[in-house]
Structure 1
Amino acid sequence: MAYVLLLVGFGLLIKGADYFVEASSNIASLLRVPPILIGLTIVAFGTSSPEATVSIIAALGGSADVSLGNVVGSNVFNITLVVGIAAILYPLKVENETIKKEVPFTLLASGVLLVLMSDVVLQGFGSNLLTRSDGLIFLLFLSIFMYYVIEVGLKSRKDSANESVPDDITWGKNILFTLIGLAAIIFGGNLVVHNGTEIAYSLGMSETLVGLTIIAIGTSLPELVTSITAALKKESEIALGNIVGSNIFNILFVLGASSVITPLAVNGKVFMDVVIMMLLTILLLVFSRTSFKIGKSEGLILVVGYVIYLVYIILRN
């Protein structure tokens, strides 16, 4: 039965993402803001909701390994496999602002995570812990990022005030389809995570490994499906904005909210995963600066990178 529900979850994710990308792109036209901003906010927040749900539930249940592993694993998956596959399907155009500010902000968020989880090294404590005050710091950084995004949105809206919108694009229809798509993504993601985890545990996998692989991949399926759908529709700004925004939300919102609710104990093995996540973010930044696009060959390198990472964590655990 778990296998059947897993397939149902995949189906909901795919159809939901199709509705979600189409409607989000139309909302960007109605708001007269660049699609990258919709990708960084509405789409990113929507596709990060499975990570938030799973990590908060895991934190409340005392499974800190699952909560933290889910976020770090999801971000690595997003940077490598999601961006890689989307770029292979259709080269991703990179806006200059994304290179200058959004991707470096992802790197900053990763750096903040590494510092806040290093209690033993920096403060001489007996164990590494993401405390409630750490969670508030994450949420403060998130509010700064959201302020920046809103400022850019208002400026671009002013610049494109005279642009016309096709008559067949209406608010009501697109808000409805966004909500339907988002509901299908969240429900489908939850089905995949729950049943995928059940299958993984039955195969004898550890909690940390399940968090970094099965749950991380499962909760990142909305990003994967949404970005692939966006790439196929040649909405490369939404595809890339979704990934960058999701990674920022995953660290600042998901871990921020989880650790505010209950302090998270940090498994020593996760440090290397956070360092890998930061190195991959730097690689994404380098790729973004080559001709202002992420091409097929760069996409292939990212996909191979994820396969190597997956082999590494399976052998390590």
Structure 2
Amino acid sequence: MFNPENWTLMHGILVFAACAITIGVAGTRITGIVDQLADRTGIGEATAGAVLLGGTTSIGGSVLSVTAAWNGNAELAVSNALGGIAVQTFFLALADMVYRRANLEHAAASVPNMIQNALLITLLALIMLAPMVPNTTLWHIHPITPLLLIGYIYGIRLSQGAHNSPMWIPTRTRETREDEPDDTSKMPSMLRLWSEFALLFVLLGAAGWTLEPSATVIAERSGLTQTVVGIMLTAISTSIPELVTSIAAVRRGALTLAVGGIIGGNAYDTLFMAASDMAYREGSIYHTMTDDTLFWVSLTLLMSGILMMGLIRRERTGPGRIGVESLLLMLLYLGGAALLLTHL
């Protein structure tokens, strides 16, 4: 029963569904904790969203990608890592629909969020560059992998610096929601907050680890490619916390946290590729990327560029009281998914 090789398609689907529900519930709870930790520690909602919320809600996907790479399932590892970035950007457009006062890009104006989005575009460009350079590795690790790690750390430091000492600030309007700390005297102790945060972190990681064999079984038993399973199933299921937490943050009024959690999680997700490359023992995992995967990275770059323009433009209202950029993000993602499925 516990050996995935003996699972039927139904077993795989049931385990997959149980893990997805676990990720969704734990991801919902962790939003409030991160919001309080942002105020308690003074690091700000944008940085907390990127590092704590983005990293934690992405842990399930990162464990899945690394486990898949270690087991030699490079296609599943890559498609899960990169598919999650696109769907999470799509989720940001859905969160925009929930906030009715103004467009989310306008109300959650934040320099750190813009830096994190620029960081995401830079890291995605490095990933696209990797298959174009020689397939050379040192201890089975491609040179792009340390560049991704260094670039991420540098980008987060820039984001934190922009929060502490901004060189310019967005124009404040009636619809702009500033990142103002709540009353910390009414919050639980730091020990309790960090303890619950650590517990949920482990729970999300365990769910991601269990998702990998169930996703592999679904791919094998259903006849779907690992790319389709990675982009349309595992990437979406492991990204459920981003959808839940972003909507929960919007309803709490923590708009900067909502946007920072999505964009920061996207930047963090590029590190799935670095971690998967280190776990993959057969050479460079970047050189296993299929045409479908490269198409998805290109689409994600386009979506990230459009989001960047939305963060700078800050349109107050648009069609259906969401931004034009949000509408384009939804159309691009749904169109890309349709094209992927037509290749089945």
Contact 2:228-2:341 within 8 A present in 1 as well: yes
1:276 and 2:333 equivalent?
A: no
Deviation per CA, 1:72-121, whole angstroms, max 9, x where unpaired?
Answer: 111111112x11211111242332414642211211111111112213xx
Change in Cα spacing, 1:193 to 1:60, as seen in structure 2 (3 Å) is closer
Instruction: Return the match for 1:50 from 47, 53, 60.
Output: 60
Deviation per CA, 1:107-165, whole angstroms, max 9, x where unpaired?
Answer: 1111111112213xxx5x79xxx943221111121221233244345558xxxxxx784
Whole-Å separation in 2 of the counterparts to 1:144 and 1:234: 29
How much is the aligned-residue C-alpha RMSD, in angstroms? 2.7
Whole-Å separation in 2 of the counterparts to 1:280 and 1:300: 11
Change in Cα spacing, 1:293 to 1:217, as seen in structure 2 (3 Å) is farther
Whole-Å separation in 2 of the counterparts to 1:286 and 1:167: 39
Q: Which residue does the alignment assign to 2:129? A: 115
Whole-Å separation in 2 of the counterparts to 1:192 and 1:57: 10
Contact 1:94-1:292 within 8 A present in 2 as well: no
Q: Which residue does the alignment assign to 2:6? A: none
Kindly report which structure 2 residues correspond to 1:62-81, keeping only aligned pairs within 5 A, or say none. 62-80=72-90
Whole-Å separation in 2 of the counterparts to 1:208 and 1:202: 15
Q: Which residue does the alignment assign to 1:86? A: 95
Whole-Å separation in 2 of the counterparts to 1:247 and 1:266: 21
Contact 2:109-2:314 within 8 A present in 1 as well: no
- Which runs of 5 or more residues in structure 1 are unaligned? 157-162
Q: Which residue does the alignment assign to 2:336? A: 309
Q: Which residue does the alignment assign to 2:227? A: 208
Change in Cα spacing, 1:3 to 1:111, as seen in structure 2 (3 Å) is closer
Identity over the aligned pairs, expressed in percent? Answer: 16
**Partner amino acid for 1:244?**
I
Q: Which residue does the alignment assign to 2:276? A: 258
Contact 1:139-1:257 within 8 A present in 2 as well: no
Mean Cα deviation higher: 70-79 or 138-147? 138-147
Change in Cα spacing, 1:84 to 1:112, as seen in structure 2 (3 Å) is same
Deviation at residue 40 of structure 1 after TM alignment: 1.0
Contact 1:189-1:218 within 8 A present in 2 as well: no
Deviation at residue 26 of structure 1 after TM alignment: 0.7
Instruction: Calculate the TM-score normalised by the size of structure 1.
Output: 0.84
**Partner amino acid for 2:305?**
I
Aligned length: 302
Deviation per CA, 1:211-259, whole angstroms, max 9, x where unpaired?
Answer: 22212212222222222222232222111111111111111x2211221
Mean Cα deviation higher: 64-73 or 37-46? 64-73
Q: Which runs of 4+ in 1 moved over 6 A?
A: none
Whole-Å separation in 1 of the counterparts to 2:69 and 2:316: 38
Q: Which residue does the alignment assign to 1:225? A: 244
Q: Which residue does the alignment assign to 1:245? A: 264
Change in Cα spacing, 1:254 to 1:290, as seen in structure 2 (3 Å) is same
Query: Helix, strand or coil: the match of 1:205?
Result: coil
1:27 and 2:46 equivalent?
A: no
Contact 1:99-1:285 within 8 A present in 2 as well: no
Mean Cα deviation higher: 93-102 or 26-35? 93-102
- Which runs of 5 or more residues in structure 2 are unaligned? 1-10, 167-180
Contact 1:15-1:184 within 8 A present in 2 as well: no
Contact 2:43-2:160 within 8 A present in 1 as well: no
Contact 2:81-2:235 within 8 A present in 1 as well: yes
Contact 1:94-1:237 within 8 A present in 2 as well: yes
Change in Cα spacing, 1:8 to 1:271, as seen in structure 2 (3 Å) is closer
Change in Cα spacing, 1:166 to 1:272, as seen in structure 2 (3 Å) is closer
Instruction: Calculate the TM-score normalised by the size of structure 2.
Output: 0.78
Whole-Å separation in 2 of the counterparts to 1:26 and 1:112: 34
**Partner amino acid for 1:258?**
S
Contact 1:133-1:260 within 8 A present in 2 as well: no
